[in-house]
Amino acid sequence: MSKDDRYAALAELWAGGIRWPSVTEVIALAGISKLPTSVSEQVLAKAGERGKAVHEWTHVYDLTGERPPDMNPCRGYVDGWARFRDETGFTPELIEEPLASNALRFVGTLDRAGTMQQGERWVFDLKAVAEVAWWTGLQLAGYELLLSNPHQRAAVQLFPEGRYKLVAFPDREDTHDFLAALRVCWAIKRHEEE
């Protein structure tokens, strides 16, 4: 099921014909996640395709243990995810899960939420990028709000050679910043309707 189909399944939560913004849209509409102008559209499109494929394969791995064939460009990224799971004992409870907040009127599809070996609850965003952006902390704060209970937050940066890097976002101010961005997002939507 595509991301658009999953959001459509949440349509009953959209009020007055106005589609609730997703976590990603909140950050973009507030002007936070602007991409560098030096990156070409072609490079961005290729990175987007790679990210989508890596997400699909890590999803398959989490459900079945299957990895892509050796010649598949996603293989190293999935190997990095498998290594992360093995070394940390992370057990996913939610995988690419669409969620919604009735109280705050926004939706999102988190990458992973679950528990580590020591029983700590975590929410992760998987990133197949050269550098994890600072605003990933706001993105994770939004997902944590959708979960309605406290989680540690981090990005798992995956690399083509089978490595991973855990990029933690312990700053709890990110929650306030996300809520401020959500408020700006709704202000923009209200004024677009006028």
Quick one: pLDDT at residue 89?
Answer: 96
Quick one: pLDDT at residue 168?
Answer: 97
Residue 134 covered by a domain:
yes
CA-angle at 115, arms to 110 and 120, nearest 5°: 115
The total number of structural domains that make up the chain: 1
Residue 8 covered by a domain:
no
Higher-scoring residue by pLDDT: 58, 5: 58
Residue 2 covered by a domain:
no
Q: How confident is the model at residue 17 (pLDDT cuts 50, 70, 90)?
A: low
CA 189 from chain center: how many Å? 23
Both tokens of 150, joined, read 């406290």
Least confident among 30-39, 164-173, 176-185: 30-39
Q: How confident is the model at residue 188 (pLDDT cuts 50, 70, 90)?
A: confident
Phi and psi of 119, rounded to 5°?
90, 0
Least confident among 15-24, 133-142, 143-152, 168-177: 15-24
Both tokens of 159, joined, read 């690399």
Residue 134 structural domain: 24-30+37-193
Residue 128 covered by a domain:
yes
Secondary structure (3-state) at 167: strand
Residue 42 covered by a domain:
yes
Residue 4 covered by a domain:
no
The CATH number that applies at residue 166 is 3.90.320
Quick one: pLDDT at residue 93?
Answer: 96
Residue 43 covered by a domain:
yes
Q: How far apart are CA 19 and CA 1, in angstroms?
A: 19
Q: How confident is the model at residue 5 (pLDDT cuts 50, 70, 90)?
A: low
DSSP for 47-82, please give it: HHHHHHHHHHHHHHHHHH-----TTSTTHHHHHHHH
Give the chain's mean pLDDT. Answer: 88
Q: pLDDT tens across 64-75, in order? A: 999 999 999 999
With a CB cutoff of 8 Å and minimum separation 6, the contacts of 168 are: 152, 153, 154
Angle between helices 41-64 and 75-88 (to 10 degrees): 50
- Residue in this structure with the two tokens 């395709």, named with its chain if needed: 49
CA 4 from chain center: how many Å? 15
pLDDT at residue 39 tops 90: no
Nearest to 140 by CA among 156, 126, 129, 124: 124
Phi and psi of 121, rounded to 5°?
-90, 130
pLDDT at residue 11 tops 80: no
Higher-scoring residue by pLDDT: 42, 101: 101
Residue 141 covered by a domain:
yes
